Chains A and B, each alone.
Chain A
Amino acid sequence: MSKITKELIYKYASDLLIGLTVEENKMVLDEFDIINEKMDEIANLEGISSIEPMALQDSVDEVALRSDVVSDELTTDEVIANASNKTLDAIVVPKVVE
């Protein structure tokens, strides 16, 4: 693991489309100290690496998939209602070039 720096924190935030103030960056940096210390404690727990990680809740019922039936569509007006910028039937964004 590479050392976490101020620059890296700005980059991580930027990858999340988030800007941080200098103070916020500093706070995150300090919090990483705590987290890393705690993560060391976790990594040092006996037998930790052999535990099957729990990613989601165990299902109570037997899981069944949905049958392929159409329902619950929004109207076009509902789809665009909360967008700030729209035409009669679509949401508008500045031109995307890729």
Chain B
Amino acid sequence: MRSLILDLLNKDKEKLLKSSLAKAHENNDKCNSFVTILDDAKVNTNNGAFKGISYALKDNISTKGILSTASSNTLKNYIPPYSATSYLALEREGATLIGKTTMDEFGMGGTAKTAHTGLVRNPLDTLRTPGGSSAGSAVAVSAGVVPFAIGTDTGDSIRKPASYTGIVGYKPTYGMISRYGLMPFASSLDHVGVLSKYVYDAAYVVNYIKGKDEKDMTSFDSSNIDLLKDIDKDIKGKRLFYIKEIADINEYENPSDELVSILKEFNNKIDAIRNIGVEVEEVSIDKKLLNVLNTAYIAIATAEATSNLSNMTGIQFGEREDGENIYELMKNFRTKNFSSLIKRRFVIGSFVLQKENQERYFVNAQRVRAKIVSIMNDLFTKYDGLILPASGNVAPKLSDINDNMSKTELAINNHMVIGNFGGYPSITIPFVNYNNLPVGLNITGPKVSDANILNIAYKLEELIDYKEVR
């Protein structure tokens, strides 16, 4: 089995913890990957699946008694009085929490530049972004600080950073892991998931923290699903498809060398996959629809986020601001503490919900969502999964990126939102390096087909035999 976790299960956990903490500091100095490093952490002695192995949590996961900021100034001193269900599951299973990782504020945005503690750097090239929003979690795994880290994914917030840092990012079916205690960005799209070096490890972690939670009505009972049992089964005869409008270089006007190279590698891999007996077919989806997925995502996500973060007023928690009256007080708190991106997105999110705009913006966005989900559900009756490059580029330079909207966004860079729209299991594995930087391969399948998708990902990981940068 390709697995770090299995290797570590019987190792000395005191030593592992010490080394994880030391690496965390070193990595944090270099990449700003942690909001909090738990220097006085003790090896977890609970008798569970993790036997004391160290891990890190994204800072939007509520941890009782431990600072949980979601990388926002609004919560810079917030110590929750309750714990997220996913964190409690890891505690119960004997995993040792060594720190809380830096993220894009409240999970909004993918640049890794909006955390209240500053931007996060890619350990493979510190001038570059690791991607967001699960930036610190991806960095900590990529740099070998911890064998796995918990992330969250609303648009592609686990799977994009995984692509940019050369690791595995897995977002299970919506509801497989409880969201209770996940500080929300957009509730209908948010997922808890995992970043790890290997597919097996991602499956291992989710296998032990999944389950129906009475505190999350959208969670479901998956006790009959074993994500590990058949993970290395032969995948001959499985059926995959890719979207022509995204994967065919002829669809692009003036493609960059980078994109040309990535798609060429992708096609080579498709051939290799066919050679091991997996059927891969090309499917066409209306470009007009693909081109508006990101806008639909922005409308839905920002609308939900505006409402979800209405509790950030400085009254029940947060460092209170002054104000002539209660509204001024709340306004000052929000104006001072939210990043510029969040404030701008809030205006959009609130605009699309306004009575006179809701139908044209928010509801039409939900219709786009319904449309693509219905197309995918149909395709998933014929195929085990969708396979595409996780992005059309390697990690960009921090200085080259911002969160501003652009008219010319390529579907190849935001198609993974389909996984959030439909709540599908979706996994990114590293597959190729371009200019010494990694790009991931994404596989997305129908709801609750997690075991099948992990099986495919595991076998493709074996086939691809990705060589880490350096």
Contacts and interface: CB of A to CB of B under 8 A. Distances in A.
Interface of A: 1, 4, 9, 12-21, 24, 27-28, 31-32, 34-35, 37-39, 41-43, 45, 48-49, 51-61, 63, 66, 74, 78-79, 81-85, 91, 93-94, 96
Nearest to B215: A72
A58 B421 CA distance: 11
Contact of A60 (B175, B323, B367): B175
A94 B344 CA distance: 28
B340 A85 contact: no
B319 interface: yes
B364 A39 contact: yes
B348 interface: yes
A74 B370 contact: no
Interface residues of B, number: 74
Contacts of B415: none
B410 to A, nearest CB: 14
B405 A35 contact: yes
Contacts of B354: 12
Interface of B: 77-79, 81-82, 173-175, 188, 212, 214, 217-218, 220-221, 288-289, 291-292, 295-296, 298-299, 306, 313-320, 323, 325-327, 329-332, 334-335, 338, 340, 343-344, 346-348, 350-351, 354, 356-357, 360-361, 363-371, 373, 404-407, 421, 423, 447-448
A54 B370 contact: yes
Given A28-B348, A60-B220, A82-B316, 18 more contacts: A15-B350, A18-B346, A24-B344, A31-B344, A35-B295, A35-B298, A39-B295, A49-B367, A54-B367, A54-B370, A54-B373, A55-B188, A59-B220, A81-B81, A82-B81, A84-B318, A91-B316, A93-B329
Contacts of A66: 214
B217 A63 contact: yes
18 contacts: A1-B360, A17-B334, A18-B343, A19-B335, A20-B343, A24-B344, A39-B299, A39-B360, A41-B295, A43-B364, A52-B367, A53-B369, A61-B220, A78-B81, A81-B79, A82-B79, A91-B315, A94-B323
B368 A45 contact: yes
